[in-house]
Amino acid sequence: MTKEKNLILNAIQIDQRIVRMAYEIYENNLDEKHLILAGVSDNGFVFATLMSKELEKISPLKTSIVRVDINKEAPFLEDVHLEKMEEKELTKKSIVLFDDVLNSGKTAAFALKAFLNTNIKKIEVVVMVNRSHKSFPIYPKYKGYELATTINEHVEVILKGREKGVYLF
């Protein structure tokens, strides 16, 4: 028996939220020349890439995108790895961390670990869906959608392809 998927956000609504959040990010980083957009693999990286394109359209900000590889099932078993970026490239930079869904905050908390040994300027968190089941004290500065769900419900975010949308099942 498969659970029925309910569409929460369609592709147009996702794109509208990305545009809105791009303006918010730009507004809160007017003094910056360069932002590091760090996407938690895999959907967070896709999200960061989409945001980079939108920021380039609306602002003079330069962006670098980095993938944050993390074992989401057991983040404490393996090191968090930044793909294609050295620690020295992060020094005194502002980091914007992207993930698709913020549930307990555990994945985001462990993803932040990748940046804590470097002298960074600041970190902001962006999620497409904030579920508000916080076990870890991570609160996004930017969110596409706030969704009250039970712990047993599942949220799936698809950011590319024909199935693009946010689904609850």
Which tens digits make up the pLDDT trace of 104-115?
Answer: 888 999 999 989
The answer to whether 100 and 157 have CB atoms below 8 angstroms apart is yes
Helix (H) or strand (E) holding 74: none
Tell me: pLDDT of 141 over 70: yes
Question: Which is nearest to 17 in space by CA: 8, 28, 6, 30?
Answer: 8
* pTM assigned to the model: 0.92
Split at pLDDT 50, 70, 90, the class of 166 is: very high
CA-CA distance, 124 to 148, in Å (whole number)?
Answer: 22
Please report where in the chains the tokens 């020094």 appear, as a residue.
91
Please report where in the chains the tokens 């960061």 appear, as a residue.
48
Tell me: pLDDT of 2 over 70: no
Please report where in the chains the tokens 């790895």 appear, as a residue.
81
Question: Which is nearest to 56 in space by CA: 83, 84, 37?
Answer: 37
> In this predicted model, what pLDDT tens digit does every residue of 45-103 receive, in sequence order?
999 999 999 999 999 999 999 999 998 888 778 888 898 788 788 999 999 999 999 98
How many CB atoms sit inside 10 A of residue 72's CB? 13
Split at pLDDT 50, 70, 90, the class of 156 is: very high
In this predicted structure, what is the pLDDT of residue 77?
Answer: 83
Split at pLDDT 50, 70, 90, the class of 132 is: confident
CA-CA distance, 149 to 133, in Å (whole number)?
Answer: 9
> In this predicted model, what pLDDT tens digit does every residue of 14-54 receive, in sequence order?
999 999 999 999 999 999 999 999 999 889 999 999 999 99
Token pair in block for residue 65: 């995108």
In this predicted structure, what is the pLDDT of residue 19?
Answer: 98
Token pair in block for residue 131: 């579920």
In this predicted structure, what is the pLDDT of residue 103?
Answer: 86
The answer to whether 97 and 123 have CB atoms below 8 angstroms apart is yes
Tell me: pLDDT of 1 over 60: no
